[in-house]
Structure 1
């Protein structure tokens, strides 16, 4: 089973409009509300592709009630820990003409220490049947610095691989805690490490104890970085669509392969890049296009010189 933990879930609200004009009024058809947050998206994608998955997260307030109702209707296996604070919302506006998406994420409200303890206890209870633990998403402002390391530690103690997808200081704490895989994007990597060279930044995380860094490069594809190897995968042309959740689909691909016993970085990179691309073609985060196999066949995969990713300082 793939066990996902989402410390800062959100009710994802998505609207599609003809064209986004700053400062203007827009009309749209009814939007779609979906239980989200990065770990929820990972579980949703993995489950839709036939994997055994369970999503653990918190829920609270009126927004949380809508969140829980949608999750029940989706059929995705889940365990919800009640909290007093209102579940946050994430708003995505898809510009159909430009083919891009504007996202507004509420920051979220920090649960109490006892509520965090309840979440950790729920995870520990589910670990005996898990083959992979995924800790995915932001943490709300004020969350304990020990939260992500504790979640990683219980997975390591259970003897299963741990994949973490977070940002900021939590990314460095995840590396120090010994996460097996980290999946930042390029901006998150620079923000966390202060290193502009993507390969050097990724290897600075490996030096802290990480086995594999999957680095999203947006339209330029994805890198798999280990202590001894560098692999790059990309499509010839970028895809237009909704990139929200593309990184989560990549994490889902990694988790599914790890659960199947596949640990080869190149194979993981191929599947993660294909699922990320397929997510761009899907209208909502947490879905991927059935074209992912076709996209996987179209990938250009190479073992490049690390210097090729160094930006010219001029």
Structure 2
């Protein structure tokens, strides 16, 4: 479920020269947002999925048309607000990506209720619920905790990938897995110790926390193993577009939990390999077939603490 979706437009060019004019090829345009990327990757890998999101205005119609053409199953809730847009500029010579995200528009109370109803409908046949991304202005403070509660009422695990106060609220609600990146995690708690911050989320009530750190890989913390953490990284950084890499990792974690896989190392191996494989693709929502070979090259370590 994606409460603040966007039309994603990705431009590819050799490099950006500030203050200069650039000629670019036609962009890749997709229905986007973190949860949409999660569904796209799961669908690509042959898993059943349902993308739930609010859409509105002309951008919302374009969003719906592109998603329909993609073949990803969806349940889109019509709203009055115009769907926002996101632009990514990928510098192929440097391997850098610059992203411009519009802010979302507020939804009214009735629209939030219809969105929740769509989630409930989708949970009837679900094995896991994923809530991903930022919240639009004026969103209910308990939106993500309510998703966790709904998932547990239907007997399925809940994965939440968000930031700020929302991730703390999701932890207190007992989210089964939280997936911040290291910047989001440190912003939520302050300081510079990601391990201490991740363990605070566990103390608040989360069952597992997976922290992504770009080319440095991922680390998993589990309430069931309070003195341990697992890390996974590649021996070298991959060159490509990192947009959507974290979402591919969330998709991997969701498919694991849907299959009943809760072993920390298995979870981390799939998440890190899918995330890395997403970097090799031109746009978010896909992973390279080389993810199986990437998984074999991962360096996975277990760290015990006192």
Q: Name the SS of the counterpart of 1:301 in structure 2.
A: strand
- Tell me what 1:225 maps to: 221
> TM (normalized to structure 1)?
0.95
CA distance in 2, matches of 1:186, 1:231: 15
CA deviations on 1:142-194 (whole Å, 9 max, x unpaired) are 21112111111111111110000001111111111111000000000011112
Q: Name the SS of the counterpart of 2:247 in structure 1.
A: helix
RMSD, matched Cα = 1.1
- Indicate yes or no: 2:207 matched with 1:211: yes
- Tell me what 1:240 maps to: 239
**10-19 or 148-157, which moves further after superposition?**
148-157
Query: Residues 306, 142 of structure 1: CA spacing in aligned structure 2 closer, same or farther, 3 A cutoff?
Result: farther
> How many residues align structurally?
303
CA deviations on 1:273-298 (whole Å, 9 max, x unpaired) are 00000000000100101100000000
CA deviations on 1:3-50 (whole Å, 9 max, x unpaired) are xx0000010000001111122211100001100100000000001000
- Tell me what 1:18 maps to: 14
CA deviations on 1:193-249 (whole Å, 9 max, x unpaired) are 124211110000000111110100111000011132200000011111110000000
CA distance in 1, matches of 2:149, 2:191: 27
- Indicate yes or no: 2:137 matched with 1:138: no
Counterparts of 1:1-314 in structure 2, within 5 Å, are 5-227=1-223, 228=226, 229-304=228-303
Please say if residues 199 and 306 of structure 1, whose CA atoms lie closer than 8 Å, have aligned partners that are also in contact.
Answer: no
- Quote the offset at 1:305 in angstroms: 5.2
CA distance in 1, matches of 2:221, 2:18: 39
Query: Residues 146, 28 of structure 1: CA spacing in aligned structure 2 closer, same or farther, 3 A cutoff?
Result: same
Please say if residues 100 and 240 of structure 1, whose CA atoms lie closer than 8 Å, have aligned partners that are also in contact.
Answer: no
Gaps of 5+ in 2: none
CA distance in 2, matches of 1:37, 1:266: 28
Please say if residues 147 and 158 of structure 2, whose CA atoms lie closer than 8 Å, have aligned partners that are also in contact.
Answer: no
> TM (normalized to structure 2)?
0.97
CA distance in 2, matches of 1:153, 1:194: 27
- Tell me what 1:310 maps to: none
CA distance in 1, matches of 2:28, 2:153: 39
Gaps of 5+ in 1: 308-314
CA distance in 1, matches of 2:143, 2:110: 12
Please say if residues 123 and 154 of structure 2, whose CA atoms lie closer than 8 Å, have aligned partners that are also in contact.
Answer: yes
